Amino acid sequence: MPKKVTVVAISPIAYDGDRYAPGRTLQVDAATADELRACGAAADPEAAAEADNVVPLRGGAPPQQTIVHCIEALLAEDSARADEALWTRDGKPDATVLSERIGARVSAAARDAAWAEYQARSAPDTA
């Protein structure tokens, strides 16, 4: 049986048939904990308490920064964008995949805004 790790939800998380609101703790396997942390959907209890970053969401939409973190995790997982299930035809992260990983609905508009932010931060400095 895999070792369980405690994390604190930063964004709404759907896991193992249950939904976890921001601020709730949940027990997950280590690989799932790593994925949730990478997407910005969860944090270790100590880090969440220190950063005081567990804030209830209005309307259940994940913050843009959480979506950006999830995009970064997708690119780390599939940097060549070879897995067609993760990406749209025009090369953007699939909003449905982002929604599933974060545990809250990510609209195409929210995905586009986060994608633009990610691209702006990742662009080489030409100065």
- pTM equals 0.56
16, exposed or middle or buried, with CB in 10 Å at 0-12, 13-18, 19+? exposed
* Whole-number Å distance between alpha carbons of 91 and 116: 12
Is 50 exceeded by the pLDDT of residue 52? no
pLDDT, one tens digit per residue, over 54-74 is 444 444 567 788 888 889 888
Reported as a pLDDT band with limits 50, 70 and 90, residue 85 is very high
Distance CA 104, CA 73 (A): 16
**Local structure of 110: helix, strand or coil:** helix
CB 38 within 8 A of CB 73: yes
When mean pLDDT is compared across 47-51, 85-89, 115-119, the lowest value belongs to: 47-51
List of domains in the chain = 4-51 (3.40.5), 64-122 (no CATH)
